[in-house]
Copies of this chain bind each other. A is one copy, B any other.
Amino acid sequence: MDDPYFSSISFKNILKAKLFDVEEVTFVKQNGEKYVHHIARRMPTVTVIPLTPENEIIFISQYRYLFKKNNLELVAGFIDKNETPLKAAKRELKEETGITASQWEQLLVADMNASVMVSQNTIFLAKGLETGEPKPDKDEIITTCRLKIDDALQKVFTGQITTTESIIGVLLVETLLKNRIV
């Protein structure tokens, strides 16, 4: 656990918020100089890119009070305790859209906001889709929407798809398809 720049780094929880913790980080440099920083630590999350045989991506539209509008996004959610990322991805896809998938591929693990937040997001491609009955959380109002890759890309470039994990998902599928990897 040696650090090349600091003689010690210590973390102290200063706030337990609902979906994240805030920690005070105290650094002591090799010369004894000390300074303090803060980070937010969040449970890890998953994002799912459900892809149809016609190369359409299935999005969800859900109300986001921070944006005061229905937001077009990929299925995403927290990984519960004792759950693998894959199990969480399957659960979230089923809950939010009713869809089950027979083929799963982990594409990436992304670090969100690395400078002030510890939050890992594992991104899955889901194929072999079968529709079913969604079971959203009590306060989630979710509809689904299929978009061809080009239409999804267009929405990224015109600011209609704005969340980082959704942007990454669309660009990933575009890149994988263009390079004939999927």
Binding site for B on A (CB under 8 A): 1, 3-6, 9, 14-15, 17-20, 22, 25, 27, 36-40, 42, 63-68, 71, 73, 107-119, 121, 141, 153, 156-157, 159, 162-165, 167-168, 171-172, 174-175, 178
Contacts and interface: CB of A to CB of B under 8 A. Distances in A.
A113 B108 contact: no
Mostly helix, strand, loop or mixed at chain A's interface?
Answer: mixed
This chain: copies in complex = 2
B63 A110 contact: no
B22 A22 contact: yes
Given A63-B5, A164-B164, A18 B40 contact: no
Contacts of A5: 63, 65, 141
B65 A114 contact: no
A167 to B, nearest CB: 6
A18 B6 contact: no
Nearest to A71: B114
Contacts of A167: 108, 110, 168
Contacts of A40: 17, 20, 22, 40, 116-117
B157 A108 contact: yes
A181 to B, nearest CB: 9
Nearest to A121: B164
Contacts of A42: 113, 116
